[in-house]
Each structure stands twice: as C-alpha cells, then as structure tokens.
C-alpha cells in the first residue's frame, strides 16, 4: 500500500490501513516516522508474501460482532462523559486484516476510530484476551521503534489506554490519562527502549 502513498505533488499521505497500523500518532514528525515504518515493512512485503502468502481463508471475513459492541460501548462511554468522539466508524476488516497479516501484526477482534478534541485521532482495538492485546502492543511498538532507530528519528513510542481485552490509542499521552479515568483502564506508553 506504499505505492499510492505519494500523491502527484510528491506529498506523502497514508491510507486508512496505514493510519491504523501507526495508531494515528500525533503530528508531522510522527507521521513521517509512520510513513518510514510502512515503507520499511512494505519493502519486504513482496518477498515475504512469496515465502508465506497471507491465508485469507484462515481468517474471518468480518470483525467479531461482540468485539465491535465493546468498541461501540467504549466510544459511547467517552461521549457520555462529555468527551469528543465524532465521525465514529468501524474500520474495513478485509483491508486492515490483510495489511496487518502481511506485517505480522496480530489482528484484533475489532477496530474502530473517531475524532476527538482538536482533531485528535482515537483508535479502539478489541481483543479476545489480555495476552492478545499485550502481544499486539508489543509487536506494534517493536515495528515502529525499529523503524525509528533505522531512520535515526527520536520516537518516544505511543500512548494508549489498556483495558485488558481492549486498548484505546489517542494521539496524546494526556488524553490517554484522561480517558483511563473515564473508561476504567490504565494509561500507558509503548515506549521505545
């Protein structure tokens, strides 16, 4: 998906699945890092697919209905507490799952997103159990931190709210702390070591 990432004007942009992979990190420097991470991982994609083609038949065709309800309830809880969460939508399963699978990123049971205050991106990911959520965070952290190291970019990692079987990924650490109080999770940062 890196090919379409450059517009005619040469300005980088990310597809929705690429944005989801990077958890909508904040602002220009992190967006550049995300693009570099996607480029680095995608550079190996054709060779990797030849060795280990994705098995679309081995994965479901859509998000888990119960997991989607969890994401919906989390967004409703934020809105009920007066937090901004506009343009809420479920991500495209076929698009995201194929992309995650190629990058060896664990596929959540559901992924949804909305827009918070000051256009902050908020991503909701729901998993089958806490171990699956922890594995997702670790693999994603590793992908992004390794890309930052290779590119010599000082990347601190990404903030998130850990709810055990779900995570909410805002752009800002302060938002994660605020949302943890509302949602009942723990504010954390998947930090680069």
Residue numbers in the chain where pLDDT is lower than 70: 1-60
Instruction: Give the separation between CA 105 and CA 23, rounded to whole angstroms.
Output: 13
Torsion of CA 178, 182, 184, 189, to 10 degrees: -20
Instruction: Give the separation between CA 144 and CA 159, rounded to whole angstroms.
Output: 13
Instruction: Give the separation between CA 81 and CA 184, rounded to whole angstroms.
Output: 12
Q: What is the pLDDT of residue 41?
A: 41
> In terms of pTM, does the model score above 0.85?
no
Strand 121-126: give its sheet, edge to edge. Answer: 86-90, 110-115, 121-126, 166-169, 157-162, 186-191
Q: Which residues contact 28 (CB under 8 A, 6 or more apart)?
A: none
| Helix or strand run (H / E) with residue 72 | helix 65-80
Q: What is the pLDDT of residue 11?
A: 34
Q: What is the pLDDT of residue 193?
A: 74
Torsion of CA 57, 92, 141, 119, to 10 degrees: 180
Residue 116 token pair: 């918070």
Q: What is the pLDDT of residue 58?
A: 54
Q: What is the pLDDT of residue 17?
A: 38
80-98, pLDDT tens digit by residue?
A: 999 999 999 999 999 999 9
Instruction: Give the separation between CA 149 and CA 35, rounded to whole angstroms.
Output: 14
Domain boundaries, the chain: 3-191
Q: What is the pLDDT of residue 3?
A: 29
């Amino acid at each position: 998906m890196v090919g379409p990432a450059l517009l005619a004007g040469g300005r980088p942009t990310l597809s929705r699945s690429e944005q989801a992979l990077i958890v909508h990190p904040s602002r220009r420097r992190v967006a550049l890092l995300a693009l570099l991470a996607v480029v680095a991982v995608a550079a190996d994609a054709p060779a990797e697919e030849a060795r280990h083609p994705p098995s679309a038949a081995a994965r479901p065709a859509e998000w888990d209905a119960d997991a989607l309800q969890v994401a919906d309830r989390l967004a409703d809880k934020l809105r009920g507490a007066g937090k901004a969460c506009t343009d809420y939508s479920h991500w495209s399963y076929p698009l995201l799952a194929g992309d995650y699978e190629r990058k060896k990123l664990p596929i959540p049971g559901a992924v949804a997103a909305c827009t918070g205050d000051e256009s902050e991106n908020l991503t909701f990911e729901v998993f089958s159990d806490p171990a699956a959520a922890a594995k997702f965070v670790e693999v994603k952290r590793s992908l992004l931190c390794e890309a930052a190291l290779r590119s010599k970019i000082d990347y601190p990692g990404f903030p998130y709210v850990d709810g055990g079987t779900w995570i909410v990924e805002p752009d800002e650490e302060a938002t994660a702390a605020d949302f943890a109080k509302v949602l009942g999770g723990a504010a954390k940062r998947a930090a680069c070591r």
